[in-house]
Chain A
Amino acid sequence: MRRVRVKDDALEQRIFLRRALIAGIAAAVLLLLLAGRAWWLQVLRHEHFSELSQENRARVEPLPANRGLLRDRAGRVIADNSPAYQLELVREQAGDLQATLARLEEFRLLDGDEIERIRQLLRSRRAFEAVPIRMQLSEDEIARYAVHRHELPGVALETRMARRYPHGPIGAHALGYVGAIGEEDLPRVDQARYFGNGVIGKLGVERSWENELLGQGGFREVLVNAAGRRVEARDGDALPLRGRAPVSGNDLVLTLDIELQRIAEEALAGRRGAVVAIEPDTGDVVVLASLPSFDPNGFARGLSRREYLELTGNPDLPLFNRALRGTYPPGSTVKPLMALAGLEYGVITPEESVWCPGRYSLPNSRHQFRDWRREGHGHVDMHSAVMQSCDVYFYRLAHTLGIQRVHDAMRRMGFGEPTGIDIGGERSGIMPSPEWKKKTFSQPEQQTWFPGETVIVGIGQGYWTATPLQLAHATALLALRGRHFRPRLVRAVVDPATGTTRDIPPQPLPQVQLQDPRHWEVIVDAMVAVTTGPRGTAVRAARGAAYTIAGKTGTAQVFSVAQSERYDESQVAERLRDHALFVAFAPAEAPRLAVAVVVENGGHGSSVAAPVARAIFDAWLAPKVD
């Protein structure tokens, strides 16, 4: 029988009370569980979550360091940093992007064919990011932007520091340039130091002294919101934002004199060639010129593809540093050194007279080596042989010495090896010897040294090649009668923060000692006669100088092309002309400057190269007015 249930209010009240009590206790327990979870999160795991929170809110922004300045020996700035202007666009502020880009084109701030690329670039970045769309604005463009600014929503003019070379192409090969870090630079890039820095020294001082110039990039944390957008920091933030100030790179004081450099380059203008001027008693390189030159500012701002191809495709090779890397037959400029070697090895005396009939043959050989003066120089002693640049005298001397002794003597003068100048890229040239020939050639018939090859080495031809820097260095060595220094372009490092200067002392190289030091004077006297003597080859170039010049002309036959050039038929004739050379130091009695000039395919050293050296001496040795 089914029991009929009726409502029992007292029972229901009891049931409710019991259930409410249970529910209340359960609620209390669960509230405690929530509190426990909060405790776990906020006490036990607090540090972990604090770190995550800091990572969340802070974005690290790089602060690039200022690159050190370059000054010349007189303190004139020759490379600095200046603000460069670029246009940046923030997509979300631009409104109608298409219209904005069209207006940029209309105002000639963008190329029409750039627009599609920029649109893609913008699409690949976040809407609130400022994307550079145009670098290195000219003043005209900046003005046009300023006028139309209100019509260009979301477009802003921003500045960044860019390398600037106020003297443009003057000295470009010595200074080098900076450019965007490329894949080839990655092995020498320490990511931490280059943080936020997109450029690196590519050549010359900029490259070799990168370590001093670079400085140390800094960073700062900026507050960002979840979208990555930068927001202002507020006081009382739980964790302070971290940062590290950038440390500026060191300034360098160069040994160059930018005004003398300019004079040298102007004297050589329109030619291909190189000039190196060294201060003998320090090794300071006062002029290091290679022409034609290029404007390093272009590299600093980034060359367009067309500009780059123009530079690399130029048959005159403006990017090729002839002073350091051009290897030329030294020609007659080595005759004083050959004479010195003859004296040193005792195979000849200054007074010994040699008959020059205008040609020279080895015993038992019918091959004739011709003198540049077909009728010959007649009887010549050492003095007049150097003064008149008699070839036969030195053919004979070289043969008498033999190639090994020539090689040994010239190695002591610095030929065949790099001078060790403090920028990279230097070539060593060739100081030939039988051993060298054996190593260099693979065919057995080419590995033998022939006596005839020794003969032409006597007048700086044949296998012998040297860089203009080596020539200047050897001339400086002669000027100081055996004392010499490693050539250098940087003489001091200055910390811009403290102003303290760290001088780099001149680096003496092992002195060249002669058996008889009087031999130096024999040679120097002969070189003075070159510019002053009755039949001196450089008399015209030295006429009227207020000081005495000890010099030697040279004319080098072009029998092989020293550097890899493009074959160009129209220029072959010009390119087969002789190179003109001149080496000199002055004043002869107290030398202050040693100069080497090479003019490619210039013809005669006396008429083309010597005047360049004269212009340099005149400027450098003239009494200073100020």
Chain B
Amino acid sequence: MYEELAISRTRRTMTATARLLRVLHLDGTLMLALAAVIAFGLFVLYSAAGDNQSLWLSQLARIGIGGAVLVALAQVPDRFLRLVAPAVWLIGLALLVAVAVIGDVGKGAQRWLDLGIVRFQPSELMKLAVPMMCAWYLHTRPLPPSAGNIGAVLALVLVPAVLIAAQPDLGTALLVTAAGLLVLLLGGIQARFIVGGFTLGGAAVPLLWLVMHDYQRQRVLTLLDPHSDPLGAGYHIIQSQIAIGSGGVFGKGWTNGSQAQLEFLPERSTDFIFAVVGEELGLLGVLALLCGYGLVIGRSLVMAVQCRDTFARLLGGSLALTFFIYVLVNAGMVMGLLPVVGVPLPLVSYGGTAMVTLLAGFGILMSLHSRRQLMGSR
């Protein structure tokens, strides 16, 4: 009897949670997956931050802000999002121009806009504005997109991307470009355009080489042979691989990674935190994190597929896959597969703006997904 009672109480509780989630337009599975990855990230960051515990607390605060933004955005009707997409994109573009003209210089790059109380990176806004804009542009036009529409979308993507790349912030430019192109890809762009694009891209490599900054060229060269400059540009790659490789299967133990704790590993709490995972928690930690990411990406894609209209699907799919690009570029870089590009490990790296932007993206995705059945369009 007592058992029955206990079970029914549990059921009631579950139902209450589900009801709450529905009211708040949140997706339980995705929330759980996000929470798991974020918790894992906080665990690792605690170790990576070392003595600097204020860093950890500040990350916690940003997660709070990001969570609030997520919940808030989930309440915004998808139609409204669609409505404001062009405006958001235009504002973002205007801010980018403003940064180029009056922005602060931090770490040798001009990325920040000082708004008095908040220092703000307009390029982060573009990570959301560009896919919104592209989805908005394509959702009224027939798919697969025509050549003209493809050209228009490319323009919507490349203008902000070039501005961001000029800051210079290659990582964000890459992510913004990826977000826009993924919209095209999910919109059904024909294979011949993809092939053509790659061919054109391949042809543009020498051109790209010419406009790259010296340090960016160095990073590419360094990837090809990190030991050509072990104390300079190759240092990051060498040290991060030593960290991961020396971690072995089980890792050196939490807060015991010599590479990370003794500062051999540069930027260990930001872009190279993946190496801390590998060193301290081993292959098992790496696989656990990759599984968490797989869950987030998989669930996001499923949600995107379930959305009710083209705008929602394109935007949702782009957000899901952009998240994957984050993971791929960061982990690939830290493990020496890709050149060093300033892309953080999503939801784990220390860094406020990226954390808020990512969670905002998932808020949008939940908003889009939660309204799939409200209109009988299917």
Contact = CB atoms under 8 A, between A and B. Distances in A.
Interface of A: 5-9, 11-13, 15-17, 19-20, 23-24, 27-28, 30-31, 33-35, 37-39, 41-43, 45-46, 48-50, 52-53, 56-57, 223-227, 231, 234, 236-239
A234 B51 CA distance: 14
Contact of A37 (B262, B265, B266, B337): B337
Interface string B334-358: 0111000000000000000000000
Given A7-B140, A42-B247, A46-B248, A35 B287 contact: yes
Contacts of A9: 309-310, 377
Contacts of B146: 5
B185 A31 contact: no
A39 B245 CA distance: 9
B119 to A, nearest CB: 29
Interface in B295-310: 297-298, 301, 304-305, 309-310
A43 B283 contact: yes
B283 A16 contact: no
Given A46-B248, A226-B262, A234-B256, A56 B242 contact: yes
B41 interface: no
Given A15-B143, A43-B283, A37 B335 contact: yes
B141 A7 contact: yes
A49 B242 contact: yes
B144 interface: yes
Given A23-B185, A42-B248, A16 B242 contact: no
Interface in B253-284: 253, 256, 258-259, 261-266, 278, 282-283
Which one of A37, A227, A236 has the greatest number of beta carbons of chain B within 10 Å? A37
A288 B186 CA distance: 100
Contact of A225 (B252, B264, B310): B264
Contacts of A12: 143, 188, 310, 313
Nearest to A12: B143
Contacts of B94: none
Given A9-B310, A20-B301, A35-B287, A42 B256 contact: no
A16 B135 CA distance: 12
Nearest 3 A/B pairs, CB to CB: A49-B245, A53-B246, A15-B188
Contacts of A234: 256, 261
A206 B185 CA distance: 84
A23 B321 contact: yes
A126 to B, nearest CB: 14
A53 B310 CA distance: 51
B331 interface: yes
Contact of A16 (B314, B321, B332, B336): B314
Contacts of B294: 27-28, 31
Contact of A23 (B186, B263, B287, B293): B186
A32 B262 CA distance: 31
A364 B332 CA distance: 111
A231 B327 contact: no
B317 interface: yes
A30 B249 CA distance: 21
A20 B305 contact: yes
Interface residues of B, number: 60
Nearest to A24: B301
Contacts of B253: 236, 238
A27 B321 contact: yes
Given A30-B324, A226-B265, 4 more contacts: A8-B142, A16-B186, A49-B242, A224-B262
A386 B242 CA distance: 88
B234 interface: no
B258 A237 contact: yes
B185 A49 contact: no
Given A15-B188, A35-B290, A5 B142 contact: yes
Given A38-B278, A42-B283, A238 B256 contact: yes
B367 interface: no
Interface of B: 140-144, 146, 182, 185-188, 239, 241-249, 252-253, 256, 258-259, 261-266, 278, 282-283, 286-287, 290, 293-294, 297-298, 301, 304-305, 309-310, 313-314, 317, 321, 324, 327-328, 331-332, 335-337, 377
A520 B1 CA distance: 126
Contact of A41 (B258, B262, B335): B335
A129 B95 CA distance: 47
Given A20-B305, A23-B317, A34 B245 contact: no
A469 to B, nearest CB: 60
A56 B335 contact: no
Contact of A238 (B188, B242, B246): B246
A86 to B, nearest CB: 29
A10 B335 CA distance: 42
Contacts of A8: 142
A239 to B, nearest CB: 8
B262 A231 contact: yes
Given A9-B377, A31-B327, A225-B263, A16 B317 contact: yes
Given A16-B186, A28-B294, A53 B142 contact: no
Nearest to B377: A9
Given A35-B286, A56-B264, A236-B256, A20 B244 contact: no
A46 B246 contact: yes
Contact of B282 (A42, A223, A236): A42
Contacts of A27: 294, 297, 301, 321, 324, 328
Contact of B335 (A7, A34, A46): A34
Contacts of A15: 143-144, 187-188
A535 B13 CA distance: 131
Given A19-B188, A49-B244, A34 B331 contact: yes
Given A42-B278, A49-B241, A234-B256, A7 B142 contact: yes
Contacts of B259: 53, 56-57
Contacts of A39: 283
Given A7-B140, A9-B310, A23-B185, A38 B377 contact: no
A57 B242 contact: no
